[in-house]
A and B are shown apart, each in its own frame.
Chain A
């Protein structure tokens, strides 16, 4: 009965084939962005383009995002495994709702918030904005920290006139003197600069980290499920991601091209400017001391204190350490 005897061997060879194909297939990881693609998101794109993830047997799929909160939700619900978001938003989300998401790597060790002013206005420090008109977009996370910034610099909220308006209107308002100061992320400052250039004027930038606001911002975050079920993939992913970050800042042009290759809407010159303008947020005294990616308990505590204070939360009600998992990224 040849048929009967061949069945087990057939099954066996099929099983062998199946396991072989399993071991050959790369681990698939869904990566969540916190906003639309651009130079600031280039590490993940350049990592794929240069094959850093393929080297560690990982196949990355990128999901674009619309804000940190959305990114956290999508990772929490399992649409994505790992991604980037502001650690401040994660602290808030965990303090309020204990979402199953953890921070595993710090990308921006300084917060990107800044004041942008016209050079001729003579505003050189945060204290100088007293009595000035300040414009901001309604939904930026910078707004949360404004009162704290003012307080640290001896000002009150009533010392300034705050206007909330559409992000697209901020640049034109500054140029036409409808406002004296605009709140912006450092990564967007160059867009205001190009508008100012068209109007024949120059801008100055006052980063808030120079005025007493010292904390982490954009970080790599992952779902607890992903970390628990695929710890080895998480480790390999983070080592490749770290390599990608270093490569992106060493080769901004190649990083910009990698983004443009996948997303043609993101043009190369703008992406290069963005990468260069965020360099100081990644490479600074903090990352020099602790290493890029590292989340230290002390600075995390500072981040939580600032968040709690800005949001009127009780600092002692929540332990920021519960937001971090340090087992997956070791400084190389």
Chain B
């Protein structure tokens, strides 16, 4: 019993919030245009056709996941390059920090002008927001490899490829996964930002549409949807780690 309770504690904590929220709004008589009650949000949710929800949901998940995959595709090789070459490390890193610290919202309109009005700017925005934690954590992970192992592989004339693939990567796996976990939650934020700037579908677009018509409960319904997707995607990364890289988890999580 205790074990089952422990397992479902996060969900129970979230569910307990709902009646509390309803009660506070009811007692304090909070108007719907300031903070809608869960029951009103539920009504707004039901009022939107299921297919519409699915369309918006699919558009956002698609941008978030594709943008995230794109950023992994860019980040991992970049991290390898930066670990292998101190020249690249010193030249690329400041550039990456500049890219990361530039507010994407500010350059989003430029991206649309450059990349056109299709899906490309949305993927670029998502990728720009997610890639940094993945590069940093992968680089840190690969650099944390004990130097004796690297020396050993060199003395045995192991190829650079084997050194990276068989020594550095396994050491970096826990770091890479923590980067991926941060990255996937940012991917949803990135997708939503990109939909604020240029989209005709998606939950971010739907939130913007709803708020610009003062349909606050409807916007909240979409926001809750976004949180659920974030949780699910985050959990997916944890599952992937638990299934394929169980050894990389801390001892207490392996049980």
Contact = CB atoms under 8 A, between A and B. Distances in A.
A3 to B, nearest CB: 44
A138 to B, nearest CB: 14
Interface in B209-237: 209-214, 216
A: contact size bracket: 20 to 34
B206 interface: yes
Interface of B: 31-34, 49, 52, 109, 112-113, 116-117, 196-198, 200, 206, 208-214, 216
10 contacts: A66-B198, A70-B109, A74-B117, A167-B212, A168-B216, A172-B33, A191-B214, A198-B33, A264-B49, A265-B210
A43 B33 CA distance: 30
A35 B213 CA distance: 12
B113 A191 contact: no
B117 A168 contact: no
Contacts of A198: 31-33
Residue among A74, A167, A270 facing the most chain B CB atoms (10 A cut-off):
A74
A77 B114 CA distance: 9
Interface in A50-91: 63-64, 66, 70, 73-74, 77, 79
Contacts of A70: 109, 112
A168 B211 contact: yes
Given A195-B33, A198-B33, A38 B213 contact: yes
A36 B216 contact: no
Contact of B113 (A77, A195, A199): A77
A293 interface: no
A47 interface: no
A191 B117 contact: no
A172 B216 CA distance: 12
Interface in A303-326: none
Contacts of B34: 172
A66 B212 contact: no
A198 B31 CA distance: 9
B212 A172 contact: no
A252 interface: no
Nearest to B118: A79
A312 B89 CA distance: 48
A199 B31 contact: yes
Contacts of B196: 66
Residue among B33, B112, B208, B216 facing the most chain A CB atoms (10 A cut-off):
B33
A66 B197 contact: yes
Contacts of B200: 64
A191 B216 contact: no
Contacts of B198: 66
For the complex of A and B, list the 4 residue pairs with the smallest distance between their C-beta atoms, beginning with the closest: A191-B214, A265-B209, A79-B117, A64-B200
A171 interface: yes
Given A79-B117, A264-B49, A172 B31 contact: yes
Given A66-B198, A79-B117, A198-B33, A191 B213 contact: yes
Nearest to A65: B198
A187 to B, nearest CB: 11
Interface string A165-182: 001100110000000000
B31 A36 contact: no
Contacts of B216: 168
A66 B211 CA distance: 14
A320 to B, nearest CB: 26
Contacts of B49: 264
Contacts of A267: 213
Nearest to B198: A66
B214 A195 contact: yes
Contact of B52 (A35, A74, A171, A264): A264
Contact of B117 (A63, A167, A265, A266): A63
Interface string A211-239: 00000000000000000000000000000
Given A66-B197, A264-B49, A36 B208 contact: yes
Given A172-B31, A172-B33, A198-B33, A36 B212 contact: yes
B206 to A, nearest CB: 7
Nearest to A192: B214
Nearest to B197: A66
B201 to A, nearest CB: 10
